Structure 1
Amino acid sequence: MAGVGMGIGRISLWLQNRRAADRETAPVPDVPQGSGPLLLVHVSPDGRAAFTQVQRRLMRARSDLRILELADPALPHAETLMQAGPAALLLLGSDLPPALITAAGRCDVPVILAEARLAPEDAAWTLRALSRRELLRQMRAVLVTDPASQATALRMGADRGRVTMTGPVAEIRDPLPCSEAERSIMAQLLRGRHAWLAAAVPPDEEGAVLNAHHAALAQSHRALLFLAPRDPARIEPLADEIEASGLVVARRSLDEDPTDDVHVMLTDGATEMGLWYRLAPVTYLGGTLGGDDEAARHPFEPAALGSAIVHGPHTERFATEWQQLGGAGAARQVGGPDELAAAIAELSQPDLIATLASNAWTVSTGGADVTMRICAPVLDAIAKDRS
């Protein structure tokens, strides 16, 4: 069956290339001028986010590198492009452009596939899947984003020694700044109190956050909540509601301090987030519980500053980053208000906080490592081409 499948895959691939050659197309892309090696990079929609970081890393390693980005999936000009003598072809994302890969194979140009997300149907026996199997076998290296894609690549017949799971390239974000003098003063005021932050909390989650803080107070009577409402106009109404429940409130907008008798510190909304992340060992990211994520914060913000992360089930806005954090045991997901309260109470224990925060920091800075792992086989191919 495998031999028959390979034959059918080659026929399907030949037909695709013939159709591409007959199609009217845009002019041949201009090849960058210079004497350095030429790298062709085909970018699929799901590889777009990785391109900037990969390009920057490659240029840092080889300043004379000429990079030609290709975005047309058909690329019937592939044979013409090969006449420019590229040192390698890098495919970012899940598209496998037949004409381009076939032309590279004829000219012995190494092909590296990275940031690939392969679907289970890629390992089926349809014409499309068989042609993709044939294309995948031509790769010098296959770097996939997740274990399922790795398993699919192997089922498609890729050489096990050429398949590597790197994880996805996530955005690398610089830590949010804050005034060190302000941080030091606040840290002195806290004097070892258990503090946690609820960031960008929409109105429909305020009740769940306050109930979670009551649970934290039951666990540690000196617990302090930094509450950053999504809408700063909610600060005064929230202060009234919190005080009516018997808790003491301080307002950042009035320059009030989190003294020992204060249970909740209301921040100025989205301002000074770098300060609050640094002061709070635990952060709940608002909008993830009820799904109102209009102003949801990026999960790498607290991760990069050593704050353990709690979130609800709605993670669509930063799906890749949440996938990375969840896979590394770097965040605590809760299903509803009761689970949020239980998690916040449990995370008053320093050892649990430290594990989550450490894992989250590793993930938030790991985009650079994934990028380097993608660039390594490209740079190796370029070096061999030069020799």
Structure 2
Amino acid sequence: MGREFWAVEPFYRKYMMGLFIVVSVSKIVAAGAEAKLKSFCGRGMGGVARKGMLVYEIYRALSYVVSPLLQLHLRWRKIRGLEHPTRLPERLGRPSLTRPPGPLLWFHAVSLGEGMAAIPVIKECVKWRPDLNILLTTATIEVIINQLPTGVLHQFSPIDTPAAMDAFLDYWNPNAIMLLECELWPNLIMVSSRKGIQLALLNARVSMKSFKLWSAPVLFPLISLLLSKFSLIIPLSSMQGIHFQLLQAPPFIINFAGDLKYAVEYDASKEELRSIDDLKVQLGHRKVWMASSIHRGEEEVMLGVHKVLKQVYPDLVTIIVPRYPQHGKDIAQKLQKEGQLVALRSQHQKIVPGRNIYVVDTLGELRHLYRLTPVAVIGGSFFPGLAGHNISEAAAAGCAVLTGYHVGHFSHMIREMQRLNPLSVLQVTGKLELEEAMLKFFSDAKVLEARQTASKQAFHALSNGIIANAWNVLYFHVLKQALLKGR
């Protein structure tokens, strides 16, 4: 390749330079791996920390190598409509907003659930320290942007490459960073620590699959190193706290406040509330139940139950809310081809007599939709490999709550609610048990009412004081020290 190639193709130059670094590091590691491992075994925590740094340097080199490919991937996602059409540079750490003067707190949440869990803490921060600037980064903008208090800044999450993270941190220069749940991004954490930025992990959790992976010899030193950089970890349960201690998080940084997902709030606009009230009128006195957050394949279970219930209650309405809107459109299309009358939410179709299935193919309305139904079946839990979804929203709305057994880290939420009241959550193994439960609920009003009351009471008991506790711990262990620096 001549000089002309390198002059006009900086993309490939960066790629090949990164590849050279990784190959060089890999050769060094391979050459001395056996000697280093023997040495580390006798060095205790110091050895683990050094090995963690070695693994991190390899990760950093790899993230440098793949950064051009990640940029191509982001552009491909943009073409497919999966990235914001005009804000793609934010994913590379390039700002689209002006950084206001004064202290700034960065809340970093990738998923919609993590972002919604962060908002109550952000509101508490605005309440007690209105002088602080707050930045929230997420991978999605739907729903989130409308829930943020006035003045809170939003950017899309930067990818965890050296260039993107350096650019982001250099520009925003936060005093403290609050990561949500399990967002342990090595470049973010290590670069922030090097710059003296305080780090907190809120609603911290690690799935059993990740825990086994992180405990393996290769990743354990890196995870231990990353956790040592935090000033505060707030686990969402005592079991999660044990997991983080086993991963060698310093015990003195682990403090409990409760699961922030109990405190998630959705502020509905007048238009949204009118829409829900209109649906209530359409439903009238018909029997109603909802299958929410379902994943592909679970619609067969729910539609099978619907068919059985409809034989007993011909005016029944089943509300299906898939996890992803496109899945809802696919379900409606399939049912329509079979000759069934389906109302689709995005097309504002009415629930008229003869239409027994209402498919919600929109985002951000679930908490309000729970007000329409006395029974909520939470999906993402009926097949192996799934990990459940938040049941607290349905409980807060006073629904009788049912779920499958494949619930992942949400098992702690179910156990807590069942401990307070055994009737608060009913777990079923599959279609037959779900049919039996639904028939029992619809045939016995007292049984249904007892389930509804139990779920609502358990939710209120568990949600009480969580945000105040989280704010107090966060301020004492992180913000107080971060703001004293006057950065």
State the TM-score bracket (shorter-chain normalisation).
0.5 to 0.7
Matched, 1:112 2:200: yes
- For residues 181 and 366 of structure 2, the distance between their equivalents in structure 1, rounded to whole angstroms, comes to 34
Could you tell me which residue of structure 1 aligns to residue 305 of structure 2? 208
Match of 2:118 in 1: 54
TM-score of the two chains, using structure 1 as the length reference: 0.61
Distance 1:277 1:149, change over 3 A: closer
Pair 1:35–1:300, CA change in 2 (3 A): same
Question: Would you say the 8 A contact 1:212–1:340 is kept in 2?
Answer: no
What is the one-letter code of the residue matched to 1:9?
A: V
Q: What stretches of structure 1 of length at least 5 have no aligned partner?
A: 218-222, 239-250, 255-264
Q: Take 1:98 and 1:301, find their aligned partners in 2: how far apart are those partners?
A: 32
Q: 1:167 touches 1:370 (CA, 8 Å); kept in 2?
A: no
Once the two structures are TM-superposed, the CA of residue 150 in structure 1 deviates from its matched residue by 1.8
CA contact (8 A) 1:36 1:65 kept: yes
User: What's the Cα RMSD here?
Assistant: 5.7
Aligned match of 1:9:
48
Residue matched to 1:247: none
Deviation at 1:153, TM superposition (A): 1.1
Inter-CA distance 385–52: structure 2 relative to 1 (3 Å threshold):
farther
How far is the alpha carbon of 1:286 from its aligned partner? 8.2
Amino acid across the alignment from 2:202: A
* Cα distance change, pair 198–129 in 1 and its aligned pair in 2 (3 A): closer
Pair 1:153-2:244 in alignment: yes
Bigger-Rg structure (1/2): 1
Whole-Å separation in 2 of the counterparts to 1:92 and 1:285: 23
Shift of 1:378: 5.0
User: Distance between the aligned counterparts of 2:466 and 2:53, measured in 1?
Assistant: 38
Deviation at 1:123, TM superposition (A): 6.6
Partner SS for 2:229:
coil
Deviation at 1:129, TM superposition (A): 0.9
Distance (Å, rounded) in 2 between the aligned partners of 1:372 and 1:213: 48
Partner of 2:425: 331
Structure 2 counterparts to residues 315-354 of structure 1, below 5 A: 324=413, 328-329=417-418, 330-347=424-441, 348=444, 349=447, 350-354=449-453
Any idea what the Cα deviations from partners look like across 1:40-61, whole Å, max 9, x if unmatched? Answer: 56x575x675246636545665
Q: Could you tell me which residue of structure 2 aligns to residue 73 of structure 1?
A: 160
CA 1:279–1:114: 2 relative to 1, 3 Å: closer
Find the aligned partners of 1:84 and 1:186 in 2 and give their Cα distance. 49
Letter in 2 for 1:138: K
1:305 aligns with 2:394: no
Matches within 5 A, 1:75-224: 75=162, 81=169, 86-98=174-186, 101-102=189-190, 104-105=192-193, 108-118=196-206, 119-121=210-212, 124=215, 126-164=217-255, 166-167=258-259, 169=261, 172-173=265-266, 177=273, 197=289, 205-206=302-303, 208-209=305-306, 211=308
Superposed displacement of residue 15, structure 1 = 3.0
Provide TM-score, normalisation by structure 2: 0.51
Structure 1's 112 and 147: CA in aligned 2 closer, same or farther, altered over 3 A? same
Give the match's secondary structure for 2:358: coil
Whether contact under 8 Å (2:288, 2:317) holds in the other structure is yes
CA distance in 1, matches of 2:117, 2:368: 28
Aligned residues: 345
Partners of 1:325 and 1:363 within 8 A in 2: no
Distance 1:5 1:85 in 2: 35
Equivalent-residue separation in structure 2 for 1:17 and 1:275 (angstroms): 44
Letter aligned with residue 45 of structure 2: M
Match of 2:358 in 1: 269
Q: CA deviation at 1:300?
A: 6.7
User: Partner of 2:20 in structure 1?
Assistant: none
Distance across 2 between alignment mates of 1:273 and 1:91? 25
Mean Cα displacement is larger for which, 178-187 or 339-348?
178-187
Q: Are the aligned partners of 1:74 and 1:97 in contact in 2 as well (CA < 8 Å)?
A: no
Contact 2:103 2:174 in 1 (8 A): yes
Gaps of 5+ in 2: 1-39, 69-91, 138-156, 293-297, 321-330, 342-349, 419-423
Displacement of 1:82 in angstroms is 7.2
Is the Cα contact below 8 Å between 1:6 and 1:130 reproduced in 2? no
C-alpha change, 1:5 and 1:79, in structure 2 (3 Å) is farther
CA deviation profile, 1:288-326 (whole Å, cap 9, x unmatched): 7699x9xxx9967754532212345677xxx77787457
